[in-house]
Amino acid sequence: MTQGFLDAARRYPMRFPDGSENPSMVHLARVIDHPNIEVGDYTYANDFDPPQDWAAHLAPYTYAGAPERLRIGRFCQIAHGVRFITASANHAMGGVSTYPFPVFDMTKIDLYKSGFQGMPDTNIGHDCWIGHGALILPGTRLGAGVIVGAGAVVSGDVPDYAIVAGNPARVIRMRFAPAQVARILALAWWDWPVTQIEAAMPLIMAGDLAALERRMG
């Protein structure tokens, strides 16, 4: 097996057979420099119309200095059209109207800030696959290995290795039995040295947990 095909330093991780880079796919950690967004190595996004500003494209309501964070783990796969709607997209709801009057007069912005205390973070676990056009709502927490169906609207907590789909998204099925999930989480292959991951790729793709455990041991 050819070694060295995983390179977290690459902006464009995918190459076509002729050696040219695929400009539609990027390692997000190489293209996002935003104080409110954390992205793990090897997580990529794909978009058929690649933006200049990936942070604004994926999380359009997450501004620098906002009270919430968007955290995305390692080895996640984010398809075209996915959006993370973080907590700053909300309007204050405690008054008679939800109209955001103070945003039109910055001298009154403190009236607005008071309605945005304790904003929830959005957390995406390692090795999640988020399908075409999915919408991830404020405060969502995806466990490791979650698959989000195309067009799903996801909120709340999604357990490790669940498959969710629909609007509102619901768990369609679990990818593995609970005991298997515990074994995969204990392996935490996404934290292995990259050379070890490359060498174990056939076992990871085949789902051979016993062989992976022997390799780790």
Q: Which two tokens stand for residue 176?
A: 């593995």
Kindly provide the residue ranges of all beta strands, DSSP E only, lying in 11-131, ordered along the sequence.
Answer: 25-27, 37-39, 44-46, 70-72, 77-78, 83-84, 122-124, 129-130
Positive or negative, the Cα torsion across 32, 35, 41, 45?
negative
Per-residue pLDDT of 51-92, as tens digits, reads 999 999 999 999 888 889 999 999 999 999 999 999 988 888
Q: Which two tokens stand for residue 160?
A: 């490790």
Active site residues: 91
Per-residue pLDDT of 186-214, as tens digits, reads 999 999 999 999 999 999 999 889 999 98
Please report the pLDDT score of residue 1 as a whole number. 38
- For the chain, which domains are there? 25-175 (2.160.10.10), 177-217 (no CATH)
Q: Taking 50 as the threshold, does the pLDDT of residue 3 lie above it? A: no
Grade residue 110 by pLDDT with cuts at 50, 70 and 90: confident
- Tell me the pTM: 0.92
